[in-house]
Amino acid sequence: MIADASDVVRPRGPGWLVCLLLTTFVIGTDDFVIAGLLPQIAEDLQVSEAAAGQLVTVFSVTYAVAAPVLAVLTARLPRKALVVGGLVVFAVANVATALAPGYGLLMVMRVVAALVAASLTPAVFALAGRLSAPERIGRSIGTVAAGLTVSLFVGVPLGTLVGDAFGWRATFLAVALLTVVVAAAAACFLPRLSGATEATVAQKLRILSRPALLMCVAGTVLGASSGLMIYTYIAPVTENLTGKNGAVLALFIAVIGVAGAVGTFAGGRLTDSWGADKALLATFTGLVVATAGLALIGTTAQQDAPVWLVALALALWGFAAWGFNPPMNTRALHLAPDAGTEAVALNTSGLYLGIALAGAVGGAALSTHNGTGVSLTATGTGLAALLLMTAAIRRHPTATPLAKTPAARVTVP
């Protein structure tokens, strides 16, 4: 269903937006924290760390495959009921994860958690666009995206600390408790909104097969692969540059975290000011410049690069790698305003596919050409993303900011 911005009765105060941010925060924490708990899980359940690592893989694969399908299947559900009910199920899934007696049931619960996450995340991104004033849509989407960024650099370290102190099961109980709090807040602050009622499943599938939208998703795959490749192999990349790890690595991760959070918010503001297309090309350009800088440092410094120089390059990289999320999702909403949630879901699937591609391609580069090889590969992938999006934007432009269109139209998920 499509509605003009004037048709929207927007909630007062920031409570609804904070709820959406916290929703992505708990989902991101649940997704990423397991990586820091793998040794404990492997020891407790008497499986190898490689087998425990498949818990991460199954979550990502399930999410990537299920997100667009679930977006179509849940399109008619009232939005508040979907978010609150989904959070309750997510909390139950995390309790069951904490109580799982064996590896098999734990794997099943990761699939359940991924299915819930795949239905919630696109919905809350689309809600941000739906409930925002037209001139603030980019910033609102950036705020929701910041929940994922902050989870990576706040939720995951805290969850790992809880696991170290009380065991890995306590971490998932803590996530469940936080999810219950977020569900209660969502019940209080989110307005009641109906689901889509006009478009059929077949119509939505035709919308999702539009070449413009598919090119957008392909750009997300390549952009995420370029950006997350550096983060996935941050330890060998930075050690190859500076010859240091430990405290210096922790410093680099902190720099990335701060830059990523700033980049997410800035990406939203740039989207509102410049339009999604210009903001997207700017962030992709920054990504290519940053990864090329890391590759150049690696080929010239030979493990003797100044820490401040590497930190500067990583700051630019973190800013751009997380800054492209708001304009990319805003562009998806532009390209499919009559199926906004489904478009964001398809785009999010591209993000998870890019993460998986980053691990595989980056791992091959690392094994043959060390950390600098990872940076070079990320640069090539980022350049491909930039070229693809440049061509896509020329062919299917959506450059006018939503706030400046004569009658801004936003999706009613």
Q: Where are the domains of the chain?
A: 2-189, 201-399
Highest mean pLDDT among 119-128, 181-190, 226-235: 181-190
Cα separation, 46 vs 329, whole angstroms: 41
Beta strand pairing call for 409-411 and 2-4: antiparallel
Q: Are 126 and 411 in contact (CB under 8 A)?
A: yes
pLDDT at 117 over 90: yes
- pLDDT at residue number 197: 56
Tell me if 373 sits within 8 A of 78, measured CB to CB.
no
pLDDT tens for each residue of 303-332: 788 999 999 999 999 999 889 888 988 898
Give yes or no for residue 182 having a pLDDT over 90: yes
| 368 vs 93, residue with greater confidence | 93
Q: How far apart are CA 243 and CA 251, in angstroms?
A: 14
Alpha-carbon torsion, ordered 194, 200, 205, 211, to 10 deg: -90
Percent of the chain whose pLDDT exceeds 70: 90
| pLDDT > 60? residue 413 | no
- Each residue's pLDDT tens digit, 243-295: 877 778 878 888 888 898 899 889 888 998 888 899 999 999 999 999 999 99
352: left (phi over 0), alpha (psi -120 to 50) or beta: alpha
The set of residues, in sequence order, having a beta carbon less than 8 Å from that of 147 and lying 6+ positions away, is 20, 21, 22, 23, 24, 25, 27, 28
CATH of span 201-399: 1.20.1250.20
Confidence of residue 11 (pLDDT cuts 50, 70, 90): low
Q: Which fold has domain 2-189?
A: Growth Hormone; Chain: A; (1.20.1250)
Most confident of 72-81, 94-103, 302-311, 340-349: 94-103
CA dihedral 79, 80, 82, 87 (to 10 degrees): 140
Give CB contacts under 8 A, 24+ apart, made by 242-249.
242/301, 242/303, 242/304, 242/305, 242/306, 242/307, 242/310, 243/303, 243/304, 244/307, 248/307
Mean pLDDT, to the nearest integer, of 348-370? 83
Name the residue with tokens 């910041």.
Answer: 146
Q: Is the distance from CB of 196 to CB of 379 less than 8 angstroms?
A: no
Angle at CA 16, nearest 5°, toward 24 and 402? Answer: 85
Q: How does the average pLDDT of the chain come out, rounded? A: 84
> What does the pLDDT look like over 226-243, one tens digit per residue?
988 888 788 788 888 888
When comparing pLDDT for 6 and 166, which is higher? Answer: 166
Q: How confident is the model at residue 146 (pLDDT cuts 50, 70, 90)?
A: confident
Return the pLDDT at 4: 39
Of 219 and 61, the structure prediction assigns the larger pLDDT to: 219
* Tokens (6 digits) for 198: 């006009």
Predicted pLDDT at 411: 36
188 C-beta neighbours (distance < 10 Å), count = 11
pLDDT at 201 over 70: no
Q: In this structure, is the dihedral angle defined by the CA atoms of residues 364, 368, 370 and 373, taken in order, positive or negative? A: negative
- State the CB neighbour count (10 A cutoff) for residue 14: 12
**pLDDT for the residue numbered 140:** 86
pTM of the model: 0.76
Is the per-residue pLDDT at 406 higher than 70? no
**DSSP code for 411:** E
Q: Is the pLDDT of residue 409 over 60?
A: no
Report the pLDDT value the prediction gives residue 177, as an integer from 0 to 100. 97
The mean pLDDT value for 55-75 works out to: 84
183 vs 23: CA distance, rounded Å: 8
Give the highest mean pLDDT range of 115-119, 122-126, 188-192, 362-366.
Answer: 115-119
Confirm whether 2-189 and 201-399 share one CATH topology.
yes
Classify 86 in phi/psi space as left (phi over 0), alpha (psi -120 to 50) or beta.
alpha
Amino acid at residue number 168: W
* The predicted structure's pLDDT at residue 86: 95
| Confidence label for 403 from pLDDT (cuts 50, 70 and 90) | very low
Return d(Cα 402, Cα 271) in angstroms, integer.
Answer: 9
Poorest-pLDDT segment among 71-80, 285-294, 314-323, 392-401: 392-401
CA–centroid distance for 335 within its chain: 20
How many Å apart are CA 114 and CA 62, to the nearest integer?
6
Give the three-state DSSP class for 87: helix
Query: What per-residue confidence (pLDDT) applies to 1?
Result: 35
Helix boundaries (H) for 100-209: 103-131, 137-150, 156-166, 168-189, 201-208
State the Cα–Cα distance between residues 180 and 169, nearest whole angstrom: 17
Which residues contact residue 403 at a Cβ distance below 8 angstroms, ignoring those fewer than 6 apart?
A: 133, 134, 135, 136, 137, 272
